[in-house]
Amino acid sequence: MSRILITSGPTREYLDPVRYLSNASSGRMGRAMAAAAMAAGHSVVIVSGPVEVDYAAGAEVIPVVTTQEMLDECLKVFPQCDGAIGVAAPCDYRPASVAPQKLSKTGRSTRLELVQTPDILATLAAGKTSQWIVAFALETEDGRSRALKKLYEKHCDLIVLNGPAAIHSRETAVEVLDPDGRVVASLSGAKDQVAREVFRIIQERLIHRQRATDD
Amino acid sequence: MSRILITSGPTREYLDPVRYLSNASSGRMGRAMAAAAMAAGHSVVIVSGPVEVDYAAGAEVIPVVTTQEMLDECLKVFPQCDGAIGVAAPCDYRPASVAPQKLSKTGRSTRLELVQTPDILATLAAGKTSQWIVAFALETEDGRSRALKKLYEKHCDLIVLNGPAAIHSRETAVEVLDPDGRVVASLSGAKDQVAREVFRIIQERLIHRQRATDD
């Protein structure tokens, strides 16, 4: 049995107590990946941004709001995990400052200063020992090349590429790419079913090999 | 029986196909106000931003994403309504431009140009005939004075002031203010119960008087 960290859902970066930046992400694919890992006999810890979905009973869930909070919680639990699956869609920019009170309308156009947030999987990868890391990438153009760039930058073992049609949908279509740039699998259908297939690939290519190395 | 327009939930203003600006709003108070109106024998049409709550069976629901879409749908249905209750938390700023493809991280800070969106209730009020309008205001400081300013600017008949503790909560605490600046009621408790009390005030002060005028 492996212990697997799964990030899920969006993060939010607040401008003031009410307004925020976020990404379209329901948490459904994160929930489906967690369920697939648990069905295969593993334990999961889900670090999740604000979502309305209910994760499977038996999953440990750590709720967070911002990308920095998601990173902080992941850094705490990752050393006790055998691998991580980054399904979350964390905000990669946050407002340079957060107003303590709700901003009033000015009647004019305005500018929002944004600064980049830390990259969660790249940070985990930088401190990893024997763990494997699988990323998800949502791209709207140049999908394969952008996904592979992310795979290298984040030092991942596999990357799952999906398109915007997956957002807030029960269905998805993905390609699983390996560090050699090969398309390991092209999968489509209900997220639960696609998640089981993706997890089967993780099991075969990463968990079994890790076991073989451990033995 | 009156026909009542209720706006509910947040709106979203996308920067690109994935990232958006939004407001913290679950749609629970909108759902509760709709249920209270229906329980009192009225018909409702709910123009709702993206929410996960299910509105009561029998309510007509028009789903929208942006503030402009919410306004467009409200302008279509309002002429056939006797009144409107603005529970939604529409974005009051949107990005000046929307990128057709997902923006890549630049590694640098960036600026987002924002322009103001139209005010939904003020626009409805400008074109109203005999209809009444009730607004909700969420304020984090100077609550009463800011709420009254909104009541005048939006030409509303009542305004319901609540605080940030109401967001994503099942409970709320509100004050109902009238155009004379009087606190008509201070209510707290479960949103469903507070909604029934707020609706009772709307019924007494606006719907019954409208009926009396019609007769």
Interchain contact, B91 vs A19, CB within 8 Å: yes
Phi, psi dihedral angles at A171 (to 5 degrees): -115, 160
pLDDT at residue B206 tops 90: yes
> Span A77-98, mean pLDDT?
96
Q: Which residue of A has its CA nearest to B91?
A: A19
pLDDT of residue B102: 82
Q: Which residues of B touch A113 (CB under 8 A)?
A: 109, 111
Opening angle at CA A72, ends A157 and A10, nearest 5: 70
| Whole-prediction pTM | 0.90
Give the mean model confidence (pLDDT) for residues B109-125.
Answer: 94
- Residue A15's contacts (CB-CB under 8 Å, 6 or more residues apart) are A21, A95, A98, A99, A103, A112
Question: Per-residue pLDDT tens for B177-201?
Answer: 999 999 999 999 999 999 999 999 9
Q: Which of A23, A43, A68, A169 is catalytic?
A: A23
Q: Choose between A175 and B214: higher pLDDT.
A: A175
The per-residue pLDDT for A140 is 87
Higher per-residue confidence, B117 vs A215: B117
| Confidence at residue B82, expressed as pLDDT on a 0 to 100 scale | 97
Give dist(CA B199, CA B65) in Å, integer: 26
pLDDT band with cut points at 50, 70 and 90 for residue A186 = very high
What pLDDT shows up at residue B85?
98
d(CA A24, nearest CA chain B) in Å = 6
In this complex, do B18 and A89 lie within 8 Å of one another by their Cβ atoms?
yes
pLDDT of residue B66: 98
Q: What pLDDT is stored for residue A103 in this prediction?
A: 80
Please, how many CA atoms are within 13 Å of residue A116, restricted to the half-sphere of its CB? Answer: 10
State mean pLDDT over B82-105: 92
Q: Does the pLDDT at position B68 exceed 80? A: yes
Contacts of A118 in chain B (CB under 8 A): none
The three-class DSSP label of residue A134 is: strand
DSSP code at position B27: S
Summarize the confidence of residues A31-53 as an average pLDDT.
96
Position B191 scores a pLDDT of 92
Q: Do A112 and B115 touch (CB under 8 A)?
A: no
Question: Is residue A165 very low, low, confident or very high in pLDDT (cuts 50, 70, 90)?
Answer: confident
Put simply, the answer to whether A140 touches B18 (Cβ < 8 Å) is: yes
Going by pLDDT thresholds of 50, 70 and 90, the confidence category of residue B125 is: very high
SS3 of residue A126 by DSSP? helix
Residue A170 predicted with pLDDT over 70: yes
Query: How far apart, in whole angstroms, are the C-alpha atoms of residue A100 and residue A195?
Result: 40
CA distance B6 to B78: 10
What band does A141 get if pLDDT is binned at 50, 70 and 90? Answer: confident
- pLDDT reading at A157 higher than 90: yes
Res. B215: pLDDT tops 60: no
Report, as an integer, the average pLDDT of A60-75.
98
CA distance B64 to chain A (A): 15
Out of A51-55, A108-112, B50-54, B74-78, pick the least confident: A108-112
